[in-house]
Structure 1
Amino acid sequence: MPHFKTVGLVMRPGSHHSDETLGQVLDILSRHEIDIILDERILAAEIGCISDGCDVSRLPRAALETLGRRCDMVIVIGGDGSMLGAARTLCLTGTPVLGINRGRVGFLTDISTADLELRLEEILSGTYVAEHRFLLDAFIMREGRVVSCAHALNDVVLHSGQVARMVEFTLFIDDQFVYRQRADGLIVATPTGSTAYALSAGGPMLHPSLEAMVLVPMFPHVLSNRPLVIGAASKVSLRIEHGPDPAPQLSCDGQTRLVLQPGDRIDIIRKPQRLVLLHPQSHDYFDSCRSKLGWSSSTQECP
């Protein structure tokens, strides 16, 4: 019996360069007699892909939420952006997610097309490493009630919405006053997101196993302001004091944007549900850092 009986496939719409990879995945799954459900955004006419063992046009399709409920695993073909979009939904059902990299960096989608067949065969047989990554919930409070909410695997970012314009905000951690700040914004990142936007803004890298968040100011008006690492169980609250016109914004994973008003409070907390991320047995976080961030690659054995 296969370790996974039903597998969902997700691919970014219009991603023509992933056709070949999709066909290869379909062939492997078909050989194992695994039931396949496609993300409803994948159109047979668009991808033009009919694999040797599977006619794409005949495969059932479903929304991402349904894939999470019906599948034992979901495979995301694309870059980290594709994974971020899928992860925010699939974490709600705890469905394991596997990423095949067709993007540029691929911290989350870490299986390369070069060894796709080998790694996918291993995972289908039950040989893999499962990681549980936490996400963030962001709630916008206005006049004492929640007016908007969004979720993020990488980061929640308060920003002015304009180039070279500042927003003034007050930061509280667990309802304790930290500081009042004028800056281009503030990045609140998970360990997963610490290697993304937060890293480019000068923040530290957090190992994925850590239960922590990092707060990284963006071009603060006070030079002594530095990134701050806090526990993941903490509640981060931001109160908008003054902002540019048009209004400042809150961005989640760079894919969801919410408009703010002076006086709004943003509460950011750890999400109860977690993303179950699958890796090959040979997965090595520091090897990923070396290859994707250009670290020294000389091999050294532990003394």
Structure 2
Amino acid sequence: MGSYTRIENALRDGLLSFPVTDMDENGQFNAKTFTDRLESFVSYGVSSVFVAGGTGEFFSLSREEYKQIVEITAKTINGRIPTVSSVGRSIPEAIEFAKMAEVAGIDALLLMPPYLTECAKSGVMEYAKAIMQNTKLPVIYYNRANGILSAEQIQKLADACPNFIALKDGTGNMEEINTTIKTIGDRLVYIGGVPTAEIISEAYLSIGVNTYSSAVFNFVPKLAVHFYKSLRAGDKEKVNLIIKEFFIPFIQLRSKRQGYAVSLIKAGTTLIGESAGNVRFPLEMPSEDEVAELQRIIDKAEELIN
């Protein structure tokens, strides 16, 4: 377990960054701009970088694209901060992707929910266990969508898999996540993982969830870092102001269409001159009016920092 200390410490404290996956004008993976994005992320002092995640359109990536992403990430980051990549889909694919990440030099894995429409919770637990027991890397389980496990099931999974190191909450159900934390204790690290997690970051912090995944970091990195530091410093006035003036308008815009938690992030990268291209279908890019509204929100972010 000692070999997991560095990644566990990074997950316990510090802003977690989730870069988009860059595409060119033809919708193909853009290695050059993705590499530049990783360098930019590191320069802001994030505690770790999660590639090919939900914001990174994991389920839309080919095997070869995933391989390129983990190789580029490991080479570019070069041990400066811990790196995490996603696995999931079918059990054989998850094990294959985990092996690619391991060979590339990725530090840990984020296990996504299975993509079946419906499945029994007991089956989800066995799914997760099979994947965790077939990789040497530490694993963060993403408790979300059709992969939500109870505190009891998470405890069983932790008992069966020593490399299960962290739980990323994608439910926002504070009662359930608090029950899980109080049941399992510090056996696991707990991470906030709802879309635009900043909106409930205060509630997370109150029960011991010290950090969360920040997607907006992709297009307002200074604000994302400023908000996180204000949160951890207990600056309630600043936290309330940023939530009111930035995050609530952003969430209202995000709520206009399913999938905008990713699509708006990519649109934001274009607006700040660091385009990552468009999302892949079935996701859709926002309309011109929505992009204009996003620009107004970004302008407000600049005011809030200054």
Which structure is higher in strand share? 1
Which structure is higher in helix share? 2
TM-score by length of 2: 0.26
| Higher radius of gyration, 1 or 2 | 1
TM-score by length of 1: 0.26
